[in-house]
Structure 1
Amino acid sequence: MSANSRMTIAVHVLTWIALVHGRGRDVVTSDQIATSVATNPVVIRRSLADLRKAGLVTVRQGAGAGYTLARAPESIALLDVFQAVHDEPLFALHRSEPNQVCPVGRGIQPALRHVYTDAEEAFRRELAGVSIADVLRDTLAPGSG
């Protein structure tokens, strides 16, 4: 099973927009962002669509078209980004009910449900405590790259 990089790409997109905005550019294009991410602009446009739907970026049409942050980077938590791009629980139980005659089959879901709930809550708390501004600061810190 491979890891999903949608979250990483979305954080990269928002962090890059925050950087260029801080350097005086109002809007950026998906092509410009794709250069930083080193991916196809179509991938970036899909990510931007999720971020726009979540209210994290806005799009400007017409002359000077492009994307900008909808909120200050300090007010965009990584949890906001995660919720924009990930619409499923982190962990899933069996797709069908395990054998209830088997002692493991009978007890595995209740045992895991508690662990999974606690783990997801901790994960969400961690993401809620980190903003796009934090990621930008850490990205630009000496020794980070």
Structure 2
Amino acid sequence: MDISKKLILDACIKKQNDLIDNFKSQLDSMNSDVFEFDHSPSQTESRAAGKIELLNAVGKELDFAIREMDLLKMLNPEKVSSIVEPGALVVTDRMKLFISVSIEEIGVGGEIIFGISTKAPIYEKMRGLEKGASFKFNDTEYNIEAIH
């Protein structure tokens, strides 16, 4: 596998930035919409309350995405990992996993890599394991072929 962790991390940061920008755009659009009333009191109050609730929910998602970005920026792509830990690229017989944040699927250099959080249940099954170890998750056996 010739893909550097720096390229993977850069792809994760780009995807996370896109997510943050999307949430910010949603908030901007919703903010202007929430404060435009048609002045029919009972309907407006009810709609405004629902919109404010949605605005708060999207705001929380944005805050979470920003915290995840902070975690990504703390990772050192130059660090060589010998165990499954944050920042490690784990190659199994079934998939490639970048231990970082829940970025889901990214394509880098023609390879599909899944960014997973240290809070993910699959991470709990493999945390601290070394090359050659195996683990079971959701009735599927995974063999660790390499860790970078």
**Which protein has greater RCO, CA pairs closer than 8 Å, 6+ apart?**
1
TM-score class, shorter: 0.3 to 0.5
Computing the radius of gyration over CA atoms, which structure comes out larger, 1 or 2? 2
Higher strand share: 2
Higher helix share: 1
How high is the TM-score relative to the length of structure 1?
0.34
